[in-house]
Every structure is written in structure tokens, then in C-alpha cells.
Chains A and B, each alone.
Chain A
Amino acid sequence: MTSETKLVCRNVWKIFGAGARDRLRAGNAPDIEALIAAGMVPAVRNVDLDVRTGEIFVIMGLSGSGKSTLVRCLSRLVEPTSGEILFNGENLLDAGEARMIEIRRHQMGMVFQHFALLPHLTVLANVAFPLEVQGVDRRQREERARRMIELVGLSGKENVFPRQLSGGQQQRVGIARSLAVEPELWFLDEPFSALDPLIRREMQDEFLRLQAALQKTIVFITHDFDEAIRLADRIAIMKDGVVVQAGTPEELVLNPATPYVAEFTRNIARAKVIRAGSIMRAVEAAFPATTIRERATIAEAAPLFAGTGETIGVVDAEGRPSGILTRNDVVDLMMRG
């Protein structure tokens, strides 16, 4: 993971209602109560975010927290009331209509909660649709679409219509379609929320497998904290249009910034979040033979203690020793829940 940023979001506001722009211009921090009293809806309030190239950035919030509005601001499906959105350094809010169409056609992809498949088109035509819009010729776009359908494991369903598929399969079509243009930036708006729990789990695994192969920059929206923890490199938690806290899953669990965040993290087993690198000690004596990566979670490390001694070695991404993990520390952490 490089630390280069792909998407930057600065002081972004979205206030629904007439005359919202004037109110923002008048003062830098408008009085929220007054806005609401005037019948306006401040859906996104002064949000700052950085999404790094190649990471999975999850925006998590309950319904009405503004997360869907925020992701639509990022792609300018919803026009932000004020602020800056820098995509590869270019401010999207200054882009004209033609430029925006250009960016969306070639650099962005989006997956929708209710799939948004076109009911009158076959699976193949649905996946090829973004390319058709660009004017790619039929043979070429169908070939690319077939590859994407194969990628999401739906080969053989090309000529079927969406309503003949299960929810999970429909969302695979949605994913294939969003990938057909090979976007740099991939938005997923609660992609698995409409699916049954078992299918959801399966789709999450599938998603991680895809991402391991594709290495896209991802903005992923969810209302499910477990899903966020499972998938995210970093999470931003939203409440009432404000980003309450942003950080790695580990940071959120170890140092929740507000009682609201703590409410979510309370029932998360720490062993599943905390990584070996966070509780390792300095190497004192001989480096143990059994090793594990720094980024592995404690839950993954624990089984390795069975049969070995009191310690296991921790290595960094290149395989160099960086510390040791002691049985006591691990047991201690797991006992605390």
C-alpha cells in the first residue's frame, strides 16, 4: 500500500433546500439549528477525507447519517453545496459537464445497493452497457463484458435477464458492469446490504479476492460495522452528516474518539482487529522458528502457539524479523474480549 492519495475531500458540505449556498457563504460555520429550523437538511457537514491509492476506504454510518449523500458528492451525482473534491489533484467541482462525463466514463465505477440493473437488457448487454455508452464497437465491448462476467463467476449466464437471477448473482452482474471500464476509483454503495447474511459473507470474500487481484482504489459504503472491520484498510464513521472518526479498524477499536464510536466497537472481539505488529515486544534472545506477518491479526496468530513454545516471531512485509509475540500477551488480550 502506497501512501499516495487518489481522492481528497476538503470542507465538503451538502445542504438540501433553497438558498443553502448563500447561508454557507455568509459564515464559515453555519448554525445547524437555524438551518434545520429554516427547513433545510444539512446532510453532509464539513467533511475532510483522504483516500489513498489502492486502499479500501469504508464509510460507515447508520441510515440517515449522510453516507450515501457523501459518496454521491464524491462522484458529483449530487452537487456539493461547497468544498473541494480533488481526484488525482483535479477539483471535480470545477469540471464542466463534458469533463465530468469523460471522468465517469473512464475512471470511475459504481456498484449500487439495489443493483440498478437495466431490466430490458441481458446480463451481457448490462455489463457491456458502460462501453456501449462510450461508443465502443459491439465485438470489442462484448468480448470485454464476457471477461468481466467470467471474473465474477457468472459464465454461462450471459443471455439471461436480470430478473431471472438471484440477488447475489444480480449484484455480481452489477460488480462486473462497474469493472468493465477498468476504473481507477471504485465506489460501492452498500453493495451487500440487500443480500441474505450467508450470501453477504460469501460476497465479501469474493470482493476481497477480486481486490487482491485488481488493486483498485475503493470507497465502500456500509451500515454494518462488522462488514467495515472485515473489509477496510481504513474506516470513517459518520453520524448526522459529520465524520466522527477516521482511522484503521485497530485505531477505532483501541481508541474510540467518542462514546458513539465506542458503542460500535464494544462488541468487536479485539483479537480480530488488533494486529501482531501492535503488541509485539522487542527481540530479546534467539528469534523463534515459527513466524507471522506484522499485519496478521491476533486471532490468526493464536493457533500458532499450540505445540510451540512461549513465543513466536513477527516479521515485516519483506520477511525481516521485527519483534516477538508472547503467549501471555496474546492470552491476556483474548481474555479481555
Chain B
Amino acid sequence: MTHAPTDRIDVHDTALPGSTGTRDALVFGGALALLLIVWQIGPGLAKWAFDYPKAWQIPAARHIGRWTKWLLDDATFGLFTFTDLTRFIAAVIDVPYRLALSLLATGFLSGQGSSAVQVFPPLSYIAVLMLVTLAGYYAGGRRLAVLVAACFGFLIVFGQWTSAMVTLASILVAVPIGVVLGLLLGLGAYRWPLFEKALTPLLDLMQTIPVFAYLVPILFFFGFGPTAAIVATLIYALPPMARITVLGLRSVPSEIRDLGHMVGCSRRQMTWKIMVPSAADALMVGVNQVIMLSLNMVIIASMIGAGGLGFDVLGALRRLDIGAGLEAGFAIVALAVALDRLSQALAQKTGAPLPAGKRRSIVARHPYLVASLAIIVVGFVLGLIIPPLQTFPEAWTLSTGGFWNEVVRWINVNFFDALEALRNLVLLNVLVPFKRFLGELPWLGVVLLLALAGYRLGGLRLALTAGMLSFLIAATGQWEKAMITVYLCGISVIVASLIGIPLGILASERERLWRWLQVVIDTLQTLPSFVYLMPVVMLFRVGDFTAMIAIVAYAVAPAIRYTVLGLQRVDPQVVEAGRAMGCTPRQILMKIKLKLALPEILLGLNQTIMFALSMLVITALVGTRDLGQEVYIALTKADTGRGIVAGLAVAFIAIIADRLISAGAARMKERMA
């Protein structure tokens, strides 16, 4: 009975939004028409509204450059300088990293450089394989054990072992640090509202600034090497943990909090005995996120000195050796899948009931710990006696590299003309006109239009945010490149939505299709983006079209995922009500499901934009002319200021898009609630 009102409101309201919608459409239509008129007659009247005058530019790049130089050379806390501090942090991170690296890859060495002697070998591949399989069995039973063993077996058989262990070592160091720091930041934000206010925009920037933009300052402060790479990874992977911590703590039921107060918890007890354990589920999602994002960073991190799989992919990319690149790329995927499933299974395991029992021996109480120790010892001894068990013999490794190179060559030989025709068709009829249109828009008009959109969707605050950020892009002289970024991103997002949303609609109705699609999009998302740049470049050569294909391939995943989730989350009672009223399946889809899932689909669009923007920077490698290229040039020239200004411009575009779409989705949800 209590559900009756919701049904009624939901069904009613899906038919209603027209009234406010029409008014919005009128306002925006009017504004757009005005913009077009100004655009047509404007250039003669007010040239400054089209090209931001050089004289008014804010020399932000120079300021930032000077400031970093100051930090580097002069900044001091009295007893020690800023550089001392960063070098100290690097040294601290280096200790666990060396330990993990020695254990997994290099062995414990005595002496320096090439004259070093191995005093103690690393864990043999057999021992590691057995350890992770055991961990899989402990966390998720036989199925997970098989999966994890298969993933690590892939690394062994395809000769990726040593690189993979180097990568794993840095992940093993970065993830705990990221989790702990994220948790502490989240706890701080939860406790002190002011701290949260300061932290939120910082997290926004950390997540939206392209990584390339802060590689240079990190290099300056932390030096070239694995520790610098770990710092860069932390900046990239930590924000979701902090956010999820805050969300998790907020969603602890108020009764549980009351309980804590009623039994007289002190503040510390409240945090560590009540809040953190009660939010454990959410926190484990955060841990999983940190692991996945750290793996995402593997390749970029290798640009500033992290070795391992990322370095292999990067090297292969430079040689355009698609086979080697793909194999190393898939090795990263294998590692990601294994770690992802392991951490998820462990998360579900926390809090599973223990078998009740009396005192038992150590072996019976800690079977897994004892078994692990046994594996390490036995593995070590076996490795000494039988060398092929210590290091996998090279002769036994497989490679499919040649095969992939052949495939691409064959396609190129046989389909070159067709591919070329497709490329030219899209380029001439879609990409170029759209690019020209955006390029000619007056910056002032766009700024005002964005501010208006902000005002309509979220009030004065949002209007100011959208207006100010877009104005800053113009004022720092990034407008032209920003427009190219918007054009590439926009086209890619449209294409990705055109592919992703229909696929999502189909998949939401067909369980089997969805299961397959999930595998595909999971792979697309974990496969390092660099990897699919390679075949695309080889097929279509460098240029905007190539960039678009790579971006679409990467950004289509959230479009599909959110559409399916949104549709699956529609209240089944509403669908039932629709069926009871005699709707055809088509009507149910169009008039009920899609309308109710729209906010979710919008959020998917938002994510698609974020993904597209992050990929855009990477496609700078294939010769686009946008902000990504600017960031990349700054990186190669080690120009901190230039890189950060361009990076901030990308971040601003992301933030504007995110805020506007989120506000729209929130308003829509509110209307339906």
C-alpha cells in the first residue's frame, strides 16, 4: 500500500517535465539565436570578442614557471628547504619499494650498479604463482584460484614475468600509501566541514588535470625514477579513495552513530570502532579503485622512470612494434584482472563468520599463513636445486607478436583504399566543418552562454563557476586550442553515445549480451589506452580521425555501462504498472524506462566526457593540435608553467562539463523523486 503513491507520481511525472522543459528550450534557443546573429555580424563591430586580445592575457605560464623555480631553489622552512622535504619523501617511499622490488624481481643485492652481487635471489616465479593462487583460493574459492593462476600463468608463459614483477612491486607500494592517505583525508573531510570545502576542489583538479601536466614538476621535485612515478600514481589514484571514504562515512546509518554515543565512545573509539568498520564495504570499493587507477598509470609512470610493463609498452609504441606492445598491454590487463578480482573477493570476505571452535594449534588456526611460509621456503630451496623453477627458461616462452604484426599488415595491404576513403569521408564531411564552426565562435559569446546554462541549471554559483572557468581559459591564451579540444572531445562523445546508448538499451534486456559486453568494456577500460593507439595509427595514420577512433574506443565503456545500470535500476513496480495499463514493450521502453533512466544516462554521458578528455591528452602522441598537444610539448620541453596552464585548461573544460551535466541530472532526479 505504501508504494501506491510512488507509482502514481512516477508515472505522472514522466509525462509532465514538458512544462519546465519548454521554457528552458525557449531560453536557450533564444540565447543560441542571439549568439549566431552576433557571430555573423560581430567580427566587424567587436573583434576583441572573437580573438582574445594578446594585451589582456594573464601570463599565468610565466608566473607558475617562476614559482616552481622559487620552490625548487629558494623555498625553505627554516631548518630545511622545500627540495629537502620532497627528496626526503622520495627516500621514505624508496625503502618499501626497494624491499618489494628485491623480493619480487631483482633479488637482494650487495654493492652498487653493475658490480652488484646477488646475495639472495628473488621469490621464484613458481613460489609467487602458488602464493597468489593460494590467496585466490582463500578469498574466493576454487574459481578465483584458477582465474588468478591463469592470469599469472599468462605473464610467465609470454615472457612478461620480470617486467610484471617490477610493476607489481610499485603497485604494492603505491596502493597501501594511497589507501591510507585517502582514508585520512576522507576522515578529515568528514570531521571538519571547512577542510572538506578546501579539499573538494583540490580533488576535482587532481582528477581532471591530465597527468602529463604534473609530470614535469614531479620530476623536478622528486627526481627521475620509480619513486617519482609512485608519487605521480598517488596523485592520480588517491582522490577516489578520499571521496569514497567521505561518502561511506556519511552513509553509516544514524542509529549506528547514536549507538556509538550511547555506549559512551570517545572520539577515537567513535572513528575506529564504529564509523570505519561500519563503512568497510564502501572503503573496500575505494581500495579497489586505487588498485585499478594505479594500474592505469603504469605506462605514464614509466615516462618518469618506473620500469616494468609500462616501459615495455612505451618502448614498443616508439618502435611501432604492435605485437610486443599488445603483449605487454595484455600483461597489464592480466595483472589488473587478477588484482581486481582478488581485492573484490577479499572485500566480500571481511566479516564472514569464523568457524566456532576451542583452542587449536597454530597450523589449524592460521592454515593459509603457514602454507604461504611453506611455499616460500620450499620455493627457495627448489629454486636453488632446479634453476628452471627459479626463472622460467626463455626458450619455453611463447610470443604472438609476429602474428599481430602480420594481421595489421594484411589489413593494410588489402583494405588500404577502403579505410582511406572512410577516413576522408568522415574528415571532410563531419570533422572539419564542426571544427571550423567551433573555431569561429566568439569566446565572449560562449562564456556568456555557459554562464547562462549554469544559471538555469544550478543558480548563481554554477553560473559564476562556468563563466569564470571558461573566461580563464580565454584569458590565459588557450582559447583556440581549447576549442579544438572541445571539438575532438565533442565529436567523440557523440559517436560514443550513438554506439554506446543503443548497445546499452539492447544489453539491458538481454542478460547474455550484457555479460559478453561487460568483458569487452572491462578489457577496453583496463587495456592501457596507448595500446589501441598503435593499431589505429597503423590503419589510419596520424591525425584527428585516428584520435577520434581511439577516444571513442576508450570512452564508449561508460556510455554502455551507465545506460544498462540506469535501465536495470528502474523500479520494477513502475514497469509492472505500465504493463498493467497495456503498454507495448516499445512503449514501456520509450515512455517509462528511458525516461526514468535518463538521469543515470546523463551521468554516463558525463563519464564519457571525462574519459574522452583523459584519452585526448594521450592522443596528442598521434598529432592532434589541441590542449593535449600543448601539454605534451611542455612535457618534452620540461616547461612546468606551460604544461600546467594547458593542463588546467583541460581540467576547467572537464569541470564545466561535469558541473553542468550533474546539475541537470540532479534537477531531473528531483523532479522525478
A162's nearest neighbour on chain B, judged by CB, is B351
- A113-B353 contact, Cβ under 8 Å, with A102-B264, A104-B262: no
On B, residues with C-beta under 8 Å from A are 253, 255-256, 258-259, 261-266, 269, 273-274, 277-278, 280, 350-354, 356
Residues of B within 8 A of A104 (CB): 261-264
How far, in Å, is B47 (CB) from chain A's closest CB? 49
Beyond contacts A101-B266, A109-B262, A161-B351: 20 other A-B pairs, Cβ-Cβ < 8 A, are: A77-B262, A103-B264, A104-B263, A104-B264, A105-B263, A105-B264, A106-B264, A118-B274, A118-B278, A120-B277, A120-B280, A122-B353, A129-B273, A130-B264, A133-B264, A133-B273, A159-B353, A159-B356, A160-B353, A164-B353
- A112-B263 contact, Cβ under 8 Å, with A118-B274, A120-B280: no
A314 sits at the interface (CB 8 A): no
- A77-B258 contact, Cβ under 8 Å, with A104-B264, A130-B263: yes
Residues of A within 8 A of B278 (CB): 118-120
Judge whether B354 and A159 touch: CB under 8 Å: yes
Contact among B256, B262, B269, B356 with A118 in the assembled complex (CB-CB below 8 Å)? B256
How far, in Å, is A322 (CB) from chain B's closest CB? 43
Distance, CA A120 to CA B261, complexed state (A): 18
Distance, CA A160 to CA B356, complexed state (A): 9
A273 sits at the interface (CB 8 A): no
Residues of A within 8 A of B256 (CB): 116, 118
Judge whether B264 and A134 touch: CB under 8 Å: yes
B260's nearest neighbour on chain A, judged by CB, is A133
How far, in Å, is A18 (CB) from chain B's closest CB? 14
Residues of A within 8 A of B350 (CB): 120
Contact among B255, B264, B265 with A113 in the assembled complex (CB-CB below 8 Å)? B255
B354's nearest neighbour on chain A, judged by CB, is A159
A200 sits at the interface (CB 8 A): no
Residues of B within 8 A of A114 (CB): 253, 255
How far, in Å, is A129 (CB) from chain B's closest CB? 6
Distance, CA A159 to CA B277, complexed state (A): 18
Judge whether B353 and A112 touch: CB under 8 Å: no
How far, in Å, is A97 (CB) from chain B's closest CB? 9
A43 sits at the interface (CB 8 A): no
Distance, CA A102 to CA B265, complexed state (A): 10
Residues of A within 8 A of B277 (CB): 118, 120-121
Interface-centre pick from B262, B274, B350, B354 (highest chain A CB count, 10 A): B262
Residues of A within 8 A of B351 (CB): 119-120, 161
Q: List 15 A-B contacts (CB under 8 A).
A: A72-B258, A110-B258, A110-B262, A112-B259, A116-B253, A116-B258, A130-B264, A132-B273, A133-B265, A133-B269, A133-B273, A159-B354, A160-B353, A161-B352, A181-B263
**Which residues in chain A, 85-118, are within 8 Å of chain B measured between CB atoms?**
100-106, 108-110, 112-116, 118
A78's nearest neighbour on chain B, judged by CB, is B258
A265 sits at the interface (CB 8 A): no
The 3 closest A-B pairs by CB, nearest first: A105-B264, A130-B263, A116-B255
How far, in Å, is A317 (CB) from chain B's closest CB? 35
Distance, CA A106 to CA B263, complexed state (A): 8
How far, in Å, is A118 (CB) from chain B's closest CB? 7
Distance, CA A227 to CA B353, complexed state (A): 36
Judge whether A133 and B255 touch: CB under 8 Å: no
How far, in Å, is B261 (CB) from chain A's closest CB? 5
